[in-house]
Amino acid sequence: MQMRDAFGPDAELALEPYRDPEIDHRYLTLEVRQEQYESDIMDKLHRLSEEFANELSQCSGDLLVTTDFRPQRLHDAV
C-alpha cells in the first residue's frame, strides 16, 4: 500500500521474477513505471525500500524495488 500511496494511482507496479543469466541467483523485482518519470524517483524508491529493510531481512530470498524507466504496460500490471 505504501508504494501505491507514494507513486499514485496511475503508476504501474509490476512484480516480476528475475533469474540472473550469469549465476544461479533468482529474486523478485517490484518495478515502478510511470507515464512521466520524476527526477527523484530513485531516491524515493531507496527511501521506501529502507522502510521495509528490517522485515525483509527476516525473509528468505531477495526483493529488488526499482524502475526500468520503460513505458507503462498497464494490461500486465497492478
Domain borders along the chain are: 2-76
Q: Mind listing the pLDDT tens digit for each residue in 29-52? A: 999 999 999 899 999 999 988 888
pLDDT of residue 76: 55
Residue 13 CA to residue 32 CA, distance in Å, equals 5
Burial of 78 (0-12, 13-18, 19+ CB in 10 A): exposed
Do residues 31 and 16 make contact, with C-beta atoms less than 8 angstroms apart? yes
Strands (DSSP E) contained in the chain are 12-19, 26-33, 63-66
CATH class for the region spanning 2-76: alpha beta
**Model's pTM, two decimal places?**
0.75
Report how far Cα 7 is from the mean position of its chain's Cα atoms.
11
Residue 71 DSSP class: P
